[in-house]
Structure 1
Amino acid sequence: MEKMEHTILEEQIGERIDKVLSALNKEWSRTQVQQWIKEGHVLVNEQQIKTNYKCALNDRIEIMIPEPEELDVVPEEMDLDIFYEDQDVLVVNKPKGMVVHPAPGHVTGTLVNGLMAHCKDLSGINGVMRPGIVHRIDKDTSGLLMVAKNDLAHESLVNQLVDKTVTRKYRAIVHGVIPHDYGTIDAPIARDQKERQSMAVTDNGKKAVTHFHVLERFTDFTFVECQLETGRTHQIRVHMKYIGYPLAGDPKYGPRKTLNIGGQALHAGILGFVHPRSGEYMEFEAPLPPNFQKLVDQLKNNR
């Protein structure tokens, strides 16, 4: 483990520690420095600190740079649906039923396994199990994901997510007939205290905002487009249940009697972001998967 030291100068007084350190070395992204701080690799005056620590004159900073962790996830050749790729970013259309990143005891068949075989230069900031992944969609949700191929891209895309400037639009089939054409759900989400594997709207949750508009109404269902302003776990599924229109096919948040379609009818169809290097806004659209489109057609015919 390499060790570096730095003493805070007058012009650095009051600056956040993560900003100061990322400015010391162009190869250190702010996200990477924050990870080092959280893991205890950065000391100020021999004390551990938080990422938002404000520096004082003559603070003595010690940085223990960890050795790169060996990736213990096996690359697997897969027929990935790549929508776009360059030296910095990759946009992939994930099929329904595929897990995005490995978890302990489940390290094969994931999107990350396929991405590692497709490109050798994924950003490693998120650790051994999630290289290059800056956001995720659930196993049974299909659609577009952006992937960072280096630390510059990773930091830019994460910051865009934090700043709520990424366009993320989903198509969904929900139970019930929504009477109004447009709506916004602003309700905080946190882990469900009664069921730890689920999320729920709770007073002490993190801010979560979903905008929706109705695309088409059927006899007992509604076809909607949902746009995420925030990106909480299971956000659309939790929010639509909260207002009384749970997703069709959803085994976790849907009604007991729902459509047997192998998981929630949810597709991440539109994804837009500013390219980390060129500064150009890019937007991509993935059509509904065949099974989803078939469901829409069946609901139309049953009216």
Structure 2
Amino acid sequence: MGDLRSLPVPDGLEGERLDAALARLFGFSRTLAAELISAGDVQVDGASAVKSDRVHAGAWLDVVIPPPPTMPVPVAEPVPGMRVLYEDDDIIVVDKPIGVAAHPTLGWTGPTVLGGLLGAGHRVATSGAAERQGIVHRLDANTTGVMVVAKSEVAYSRLKRAFKERTVEKHYHALVQGHPDPLRGTVDAPIDRHPSGDGRFAVVAGGKPSITHYDTIEAFRAASLLDVKLETGRTHQIRVHMSALRHPCVGDLAYGADPTLAARLGVTRQWLHAVSLGFEHPTGGERVTFTSDYPDQLGASLDKVRAES
């Protein structure tokens, strides 16, 4: 049973749909708001309602707020295919394979980088929430490549600061549909959760500032291979920005990619790979850079699109 919250609809939400009004009032996703309404946990002026009802300023809302979900803890078991590229007393750098999340999250039951490191006997920093200990940045589950994890507490705090202050150099390669015009450019467009509440992100006015620099490495008949440098690190940033340019990553069906092209090239995920990561070593102070080769599927699809051209 959750907590009952009662309050009037503010003037600024006059005429909004009930699910959208709840999302704005309580910071819910639209999906959760709709679930609460259909479960009968929301009343407007003492009566049940449906999510598409329009609310009026001053109407009285009674909402049963569900208790916060308990976050899953990392399952400590080795992750097949995850290679350690470098390790010392402060950091461990891994080459993350496909289908592995950085750390446990609600709704993710698959393997994680954190669980894989713990399962292989590596020590990681205990700073941060229990389910994210040592994690200073993330890659999407289906984005492969270089990722650094903090082992010491001093490395955790210094690397977190380096990512926040944008002194880390993150380079990705992305195979995108078509040919971006211009061939080299910058996308400066704010990102937030997609209004649909389906887990995607989108360019949204008032979202978090997000900056992506890209440069064409090679142009093919159907696609272009880009070098992408991230200035900020928003969730799905490259995927969202490329989709906004109408040049989604090949295979990225969630963001508008052509399934026919993906199938022809044998791509079953977004064609996006973190090729290099450069930063100041948190205790040594020297600049270090780590690189990762393309996984087999991405390399093979690149050969195919090159041969077609």
TM-score range, shorter chain: 0.7 to 0.9
Counterpart amino acid of residue 76 in structure 2 = P
Q: Residue 108 of structure 1: CA displacement?
A: 5.3
Q: Distance between the aligned counterparts of 1:256 and 1:174, measured in 2? A: 11
Match among 244, 247, 253 for residue 245 of structure 1: 247
* Whole-Å separation in 2 of the counterparts to 1:110 and 1:288: 20
1:133 corresponds to which residue? 135
Corresponding residue of 2:299? 293
Query: For the Cα contact (< 8 Å) 1:210–1:230, is it kept in 2?
Result: yes
Provide the rounded CA distance (Å) in 2 between the counterparts of 1:247 and 1:92: 23
- How far has the Cα of 1:215 moved from its partner? 0.6
Residue pair 1:74, 1:108 contacting (<8 A) in 2 also: no
C-alpha contact 2:250 2:262 (8 A) present in aligned 1 = yes
Alpha-carbon RMSD across the aligned residues, in angstroms, is 1.7
Shift of 1:196: 3.9
Summarize deviations over 1:2-28 as a string: whole Å, max 9, x none. Answer: xxxxxxxxxxxxxxxxxxxxxxxxxxx
- Give the aligned residue type for 2:308: N
> What SS is found at the alignment partner of 2:253?
coil
Alignment of 1:148-227 (within 5 A): 148-227=150-229
Distance between the aligned counterparts of 2:298 and 2:207, measured in 1? 32
- Residue 73 of structure 1 is matched in structure 2 by 74
Q: Could you tell which deviates more after superposition, 207-216 or 173-182?
A: 173-182
Tell me the distance in 1 between the aligned counterparts of 2:204 and 2:214: 21
Size of the aligned set, in residue pairs, is 233
Deviation string, structure 1 residues 191-250 (Cα, Å, up to 9, x no partner) = 111234111111111110000000111111111110000000000000011111111100
Aligned residue number for residue 275 of structure 2: 269
**Match 1:85 to one of 77, 84, 87:** 87
Counterpart amino acid of residue 275 in structure 2: G
State the alpha-carbon separation in 2 of the partners of residues 151 and 81 from structure 1: 23
For the 8 Å contact 2:251–2:258, the answer to whether it is kept is: no
Q: Indicate the SS of the match to 2:251.
A: coil
Aligned to 1:50: none
2:146 aligned counterpart, secondary structure: strand
Q: Residues of 1 paired with 2:242 and 2:206: CA distance?
A: 19
Gaps of 5+ in 2: 1-71
1:106 positional shift: 4.2
Report if the CA contact (8 A) 2:213-2:231 is conserved: yes
From the superposition, tell whether residues 219 and 90 of structure 1 become closer, same or farther in structure 2 (CA, over 3 Å): same
SS at match of 1:263: coil
Question: CA distance change for structure 1 residues 107 and 178 in 2, over 3 Å: closer, same or farther?
Answer: closer
2:67 aligns to what?
Answer: none
Verify the 8 A CA contact 1:185 1:211 in the aligned structure 2. Answer: yes
The CA distance in 2 between the partners of 1:283 and 1:173, in whole Å, is: 23
Contact in 2 for aligned 1:248/1:254 (Cα 8 Å): no
**Structure 1 pair 106–232 and aligned structure 2 pair: CA distance change class (3 A):** closer
Identity of matched residues, %: 36
Question: What's the counterpart of residue 262 of structure 2?
Answer: 259
TM-score by length of 1: 0.73
Q: For 2:117, which of 115, 129, 135 is the aligned residue?
A: 115
Once the two structures are superposed, residues 227-282 of structure 1 have per-residue CA deviations (whole angstroms, 9 ceiling, x without a partner) of 00000000000001111111110021123534132210000001011111011110
3-state SS in 1 of match to 2:262: coil
- Residue 173 of structure 1 aligns to a residue whose secondary structure is strand
Between the aligned partners of 1:72 and 1:201, the Cα distance in structure 2 is 32
Q: Which has the higher helix share?
A: 2
Question: Gapped runs of 5+ residues in structure 1?
Answer: 1-70
Moved over 6 A (4+): none
